[in-house]
Structure 1
């Protein structure tokens, strides 16, 4: 067996009831929800498990998603499963940081709570995002650069699926240009703001000030950052990268390709949904994508990994 990567999804995969089995059945996971509630002053079990409208509001979505991912991670680690490397898409990068051991659980929850608030507050009117299907990322980036106004690539998800972000008018113009240039489809996304665009630079800078108060730790498990799609091995790099991540492109495809080039052949997606597992199939069909969302998934993955060794 080659190397093993833990990967964590970002905002958008959340739903009411996510993680509930882990909370009810696994004590280390339940403790994660307790710590998150104590640190943030929010009722995380209520937010994640009981029907509510807050779960889809950025300010609350981010902490709810990350708490769920951290709870599942704790259960997996209790089984003795260790990653060789980790990565996460946007918000999910904080799951990778937990895997690396670069921050305490309490500090990660404090930072993510503030990240959600800052991004919610910073959402300007007139922002938009749009998924572009069936076109090369470099060509999309070039057309965005040539379009007047603020518009850029938000996410390099996988071959044939790129997301653009920025001012509503500029995104609309770029989408028309992209269709004329051969994009199969351009689909406006139902999001609350132009995430990962220059319009959120102020939020990223404010998050940098929050991160100044956080103590970083030496870590033995490296992770790959969205901003550069390269390994982070030094704690000193983390704060600046996390601030920039808010308004920079998410280089997810490049991050996965970087890990595969380094010998990763098995990826475990930890958290709600199968978004990253779907991207993985389009990035490279020759690697294994596993997924843990329910307790039965955890048992199946642990069994499968044991048989591989």
Structure 2
């Protein structure tokens, strides 16, 4: 019998009105209000009537996404369902850690709020999605050749066959964009982000974030958690904290995470989030995988899983 993965998207999955579904039930409405109180934000208002621009700020988007994803998954778990594995993409790892009983939703939104504040301090950087280039080795060499000149640019996300993301200084990303197009990339799309996430530009903030993480209560994972950093399973608090620090400046190896999970017997992937970007990526990696995208409480009911 196949195994099930619960997966959680990262920044960019936020959508205006994403919290409307959560205020339709007393339990989730109160939970959302409590999470907002924990971090000094009116998450309920931001997630129900906030504009696209209001939700775009990193220190707003990240707690909003994690709150939404974690509460949806909690509602599913309350019905007696459990995953065999949990997987997050970038900040989605914090929702995955909630699902694995490592941290509470309250602690998760606090951590990503602080993470977002640190990320907001990174200036002079950007990111771009590279689409339609399957020769990742050639892309890696091209990006490395630019980095060797002293400019900062690197591959930040390995998402699926034919799609990865580059991150770094604006001029370096522009240089890499031109070179990758010469090598056959069909499109290179600038991302609407405030900084060069998952690049060495984030390194100076790692010690400060580590101080925040080590002061937080982490428990051993009760469900198999696979890390973006090394595509391996980890369950001990000290390991998880170390990896969350490294994740700030390391590539997100989503494609290899999914491949590892498939090797371990996973054939069903359930995505919990305000939108479903990971579902399409998994379909590109494993065409016959069963994929369920849950963005609202109503979808839980429609799927017959609530």
Give the stretch that moved more between structures: 189-198 or 257-266: 189-198
The residue matched to 1:90 in structure 2 has which SS? coil
Alignment of 1:81-120 (within 5 A): 81-120=81-120
Quote the Cα distance in structure 1 between the aligned partners of 2:246 and 2:279.
26
Alignment of 1:1-309 (within 5 A): 1-25=1-25, 27-52=26-51, 53-121=53-121, 123-125=122-124, 127-135=125-133, 136-147=135-146, 148=149, 149-303=151-305
The residue matched to 1:17 in structure 2 has which SS? coil
How many angstroms does 1:138 deviate by?
Answer: 2.5
How many angstroms does 1:194 deviate by?
Answer: 1.0
Quote the Cα distance in structure 1 between the aligned partners of 2:277 and 2:138.
24
Quote the Cα distance in structure 2 between the aligned partners of 1:74 and 1:56.
25
Quote the Cα distance in structure 2 between the aligned partners of 1:248 and 1:205.
15
How many angstroms does 1:24 deviate by?
Answer: 1.6
Quote the Cα distance in structure 2 between the aligned partners of 1:265 and 1:281.
11
* CA deviation string 1:42-91 (max 9, x = no partner): 11101101134421111111111111111111111112111111011001
Quote the Cα distance in structure 1 between the aligned partners of 2:207 and 2:139.
27
Does the CA-based 8 Å contact 1:66-1:92 persist in structure 2?
Answer: yes
* CA deviation string 1:122-173 (max 9, x = no partner): x212x12111112232322221111131110111111111110101111111
Quote the Cα distance in structure 1 between the aligned partners of 2:191 and 2:36.
31
Quote the Cα distance in structure 2 between the aligned partners of 1:23 and 1:295.
10
* CA deviation string 1:5-63 (max 9, x = no partner): 100000111112113223222x3322331221221111110110113442111111111
Does the CA-based 8 Å contact 2:234-2:240 persist in structure 1?
Answer: yes
TM-score (norm 1): 0.93
* CA deviation string 1:156-205 (max 9, x = no partner): 11111111010111111111111112222222222211111101112233
Quote the Cα distance in structure 2 between the aligned partners of 1:198 and 1:302.
45
Does the CA-based 8 Å contact 1:204-1:245 persist in structure 2?
Answer: no
How many angstroms does 1:206 deviate by?
Answer: 1.6
Quote the Cα distance in structure 1 between the aligned partners of 2:28 and 2:50.
21
The residue matched to 2:86 in structure 1 has which SS? strand
How many angstroms does 1:239 deviate by?
Answer: 0.8
The residue matched to 2:114 in structure 1 has which SS? helix
Quote the Cα distance in structure 1 between the aligned partners of 2:109 and 2:191.
27
| Cα separation, partners in 2 of 1:217 and 1:133, compared to 1, 3 Å | same
How many angstroms does 1:219 deviate by?
Answer: 2.5
Quote the Cα distance in structure 2 between the aligned partners of 1:13 and 1:278.
13
The residue matched to 2:64 in structure 1 has which SS? helix
Does the CA-based 8 Å contact 2:219-2:236 persist in structure 1?
Answer: no
